[in-house]
Amino acid sequence: MTTIRLLIALAAIHKLMIHQMDVKTVFLNGELTEEIYMQQPEGFVVRGLEDKVCKLMKSLYGLKQAPKMWHEKFDKVIRSNGYRVSETNKCIYTKFADGRGVIVCLYVDDMLILGTDLSCVTETKKFLSTKFSMKDLGDADVILGLKIIRTGTGIALSQSHYIEKMLTRYGYQDLPIIDTPYRSDQKLEPNSRESVRQLEYASVIGSLMYATTATRPDIAFAVGMLSRFTSNPGVEHWKAVKRVMRYLKKTQTCTFLQRRSVSSGRLQ
pLDDT value at residue 153? 85
Task: Confirm or reject CATH 3.30.70 for domain 2-27+63-144, answering yes or no.
Answer: yes
Dihedral sign computed on CA atoms, order 8, 10, 11, 13: positive
Please state, in angstroms and rounded to a whole number, the distance separating the CA atoms of residues 190 and 228: 9
Segment 88-114 shows an average pLDDT of 92
Chain centre distance of CA 216: 15
Residue spans of the domains in the chain: they are: 2-27+63-144, 160-255
3 state DSSP class of 158: strand
Mean pLDDT of the chain: 91
Could you tell me which of 138, 107, 136, 109 has the C-alpha nearest to residue 23?
109
Q: What is the share, in percent, of the chain residues with pLDDT greater than 90?
A: 70
Non-local CB neighbours of 94 within 8 Å, separated by 6+ positions: 83, 84, 86, 101, 102, 103, 104, 267
pLDDT value at residue 260? 78
pLDDT value at residue 104? 96
Using the predicted structure, report yes or no on whether residue 120 has a pLDDT greater than 90: yes
Please state, in angstroms and rounded to a whole number, the distance separating the CA atoms of residues 225 and 227: 6
Model pTM? 0.80
Using the predicted structure, report yes or no on whether residue 180 has a pLDDT greater than 70: yes
pLDDT band at residue 233 using 50, 70 and 90 as cut-offs: very high
The radius of gyration of the chain from alpha carbons, rounded to an integer in Å, stands at: 24
